[in-house]
């Protein structure tokens, strides 16, 4: 399995919204997962032709922290940011269009992600909610 199962982590995206997450408190699974997938993972590949799955490295907690406007329960900026990120990837990489994203996954340790973006991509991106 270690030789065959490979994860491609997109390099697109900048801190603090992408490639980083909290390592403590209630939503602490994001940070360790990002670290493990990007730096210490025997399953990671830099060659997308080897990959079986593709990781979308955005932090739901950081999106809420930096983009949420208190009192605004529509959460448009959070969803728009993720949708724009996925559109960028789908244009740049041909393998998104081959699978329509069904071999892509994301981690969301916040229920707002499901409210803001999963509706748009519920048939294509595999959400891992914690």
Q: Using one digit for the tens of pLDDT, what is the confidence trace for 72-96?
A: 766 677 778 888 888 898 889 877 7
Cα separation, 90 vs 95, whole angstroms: 8
Listed in sequence order, the residues at least 6 apart from 129 whose beta carbon sits closer than 8 Å to its beta carbon are: 108, 109, 111, 113, 114
**In angstroms, what is the C-alpha Rg of the chain?**
14
Question: 3-state SS string over 32-51?
Answer: HHHHHHHHCCCCEECCCCCC
* pLDDT value of residue 120: 58
Q: Tell me the whole-structure pTM to 2 decimals.
A: 0.84
- What is the three-class DSSP state of 23? coil
């Amino acid at each position: 399995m270690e030789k065959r199962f490979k994860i491609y982590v997109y390099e697109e995206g900048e801190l603090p919204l992408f490639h980083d997450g909290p390592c403590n408190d209630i939503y602490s699974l994001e940070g360790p997962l990002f670290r493990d997938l990007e730096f210490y993972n025997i399953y990671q590949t830099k060659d997308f032709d080897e990959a079986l799955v593709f990781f979308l490295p955005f932090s739901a907690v950081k999106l809420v922290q930096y983009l949420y406007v208190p009192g605004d329960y529509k959460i448009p900026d959070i969803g728009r940011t993720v949708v724009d990120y996925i559109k960028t990837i789908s244009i740049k990489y041909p393998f998104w269009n081959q699978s329509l994203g069904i071999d892509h996954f994301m981690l969301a340790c916040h229920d707002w992600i499901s409210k803001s973006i999963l509706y748009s991509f519920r048939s294509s991106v595999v959400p891992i909610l914690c």
